[in-house]
Amino acid sequence: MNITKKIITIKVLVLNRISLILPNFPNHRFLYKPFEGLRQIIWKSLFKRFGTKSFIRSKVQIVGYNNISVGNNCLIGPSSIINATNRITIGDYFLSGPGLIIYTAEHGLENNDTPYCLQKSTSSKVVIGDNVYVGARVTILGGVTIGDNVIIAAGSVVTKDIPSNEIWGGIPARTIKKV
């Protein structure tokens, strides 16, 4: 094994260990400033892209850091789950409430003779535009593109594309109002 491969292997191992402790890393307002620089270094090394002045609240579970690009001035709320087996792109000025769920993968359901857990899963990218506000406990499924200047009401399940300049809500999410 050459030296470059060894360095990459060590980096991957270190980042995997850091990603295990990151959800519980001190994240409260009174502890934020002392750890701000370290937190930014960790996030920038884990994510494909992590914008300036972006922040992830406590107890966020993330799979597939290297598939996620986060824009500038973004906030991902506490207790969120992001599963990025495919690409997730989040634009600038994104804001989510607590409990956001983004899944790019889904289980195959084609064959009733094969247990669902043994069927192949598929994954599709998620693209979120600029200036998007997502309420608490929103679920965004794979294959969805959310336009710019969008608001998604709390508790919604987004299963299809949302055009720019609209407010959506419900299960499944649908247009409430154009803005």
Residue 107 is among the residues annotated as catalytic for this protein: yes
- What range defines the domain where residue 71 resides? 3-178
pLDDT band of 139, cuts 50, 70, 90? very high
pTM of the predicted model over 0.75 = yes
Total domain count, the chain: 1
Contact 73, 53 (CB under 8 A): yes
pLDDT at 4 over 80: no
How large is the average pLDDT for residues 85-103? 97
pLDDT digits (tens, 9 = 90+) for 24-40: 555 555 455 566 677 77
The dihedral region occupied by 162, where left means phi > 0, alpha psi between -120 and 50, and beta the remainder, is beta
* CATH number reported for the structural domain that contains residue 117 in this entry: 2.160.10.10
Catalytically annotated residue among 6, 17, 107, 177:
107
